[in-house]
Structure formats: C-alpha cells, structure tokens
Amino acid sequence: MAPIAVGNVVPDGSISFFDENDQVQTVSVHSFAAGKKVVLFGVPGAFTPTCSMQHVPSFIDKAEELKSKGVDEIICFSVNDPFVMKAWGKTYPDNKHVKFVADGSGEYTKLLGLELDLKDKGLGVRTKRFAMLLDNLKVTVANVESGGEFTVSSADEILKAL
C-alpha cells in the first residue's frame, strides 16, 4: 500500500489508550478525529532514545503553542500495547496535552502504509517516524522520516505549517 499523503483522508481503524479514569478505550480513528484539527505523530518505539529524548519532548514542549494555533488533539502513536504507552506517557510528568495511543498489532500502521521493518534489530515491524496534521480527517501535512532519521517530524516542523 502507498503511504498516506497530503490530500488523503486518513483510513478508519482502531487505536487504544487509557482514559482519564484509567480505563482502556479502543476507538475508531474517524470517531476520535472527525471535525477536529489533530497532530498525529508516530514513533518506532516507546522508551527508545530518539523517540524519548527528542521526538516526544518536542511535542510536549510545543503543545501550548500548537493548541494556540487551533490544534485540538496531539497524539503520540506507536506499535505497542496501551499498557506500554501509558507507562511511557507517565515518564513525562509535565505533559498536559499529548495523548499516548497504541496500535497494538500494527494494523493501523499498515492502513497508513507507514510500516518500518526492524526485525533485524529484534523489534519486529514498527511505525515509521512521522508527523501529520489532520483537519477533519484530511491530511494537510505529512512529514515522514527515512530510516532512523529525525529531521522533518518535530513539533517545530508542524508549527511551520500552521
């Protein structure tokens, strides 16, 4: 499948996260993001160096600015289970706006066409590093990294587009 691109409507699929009552919720992407401006950024792995020390902090640090420019939701997305994503999110005590969301089996990653094969590193198939801006489900920005790079998918790159 070709990777998701600017102008596409994101496919519908399921994502999971822990809500404010500490309950696992599984929702459809379309029901969650319809009618909203959403930043969806994907990372290859929770607790990994670039993801934990650069990518996620860029969105936590810029969350207020993103919100001030009309962003309704900021979602960190990874092929992991919701328990891992919850635990990872708790390592950022200053986070008020970034929601840590799981794609447990990688099915939604496949629908996006953003699989990253890391089997040779013992990590299986993960999500490519990316940052997208969605406006009522339509992709208006799609910044997808090559390999393990972190050059086009930071919060600053999304802010430039707003």
* Active site (catalytic) residues: 51
Say if CB 149 and CB 129 are below 8 A apart. Answer: yes
d(CA 106, CA 146): 19
CA-based nearest residue to 136, from 43, 8, 4: 8
How do beta strands 115-117 and 125-127 pair?
antiparallel
CA-based nearest residue to 85, from 29, 16, 151: 16
d(CA 43, CA 75): 11
Q: Is the dihedral of CA 49, 50, 53, 55 positive or negative?
A: negative
Phi, psi of 33 (to 5 degrees): -110, -10
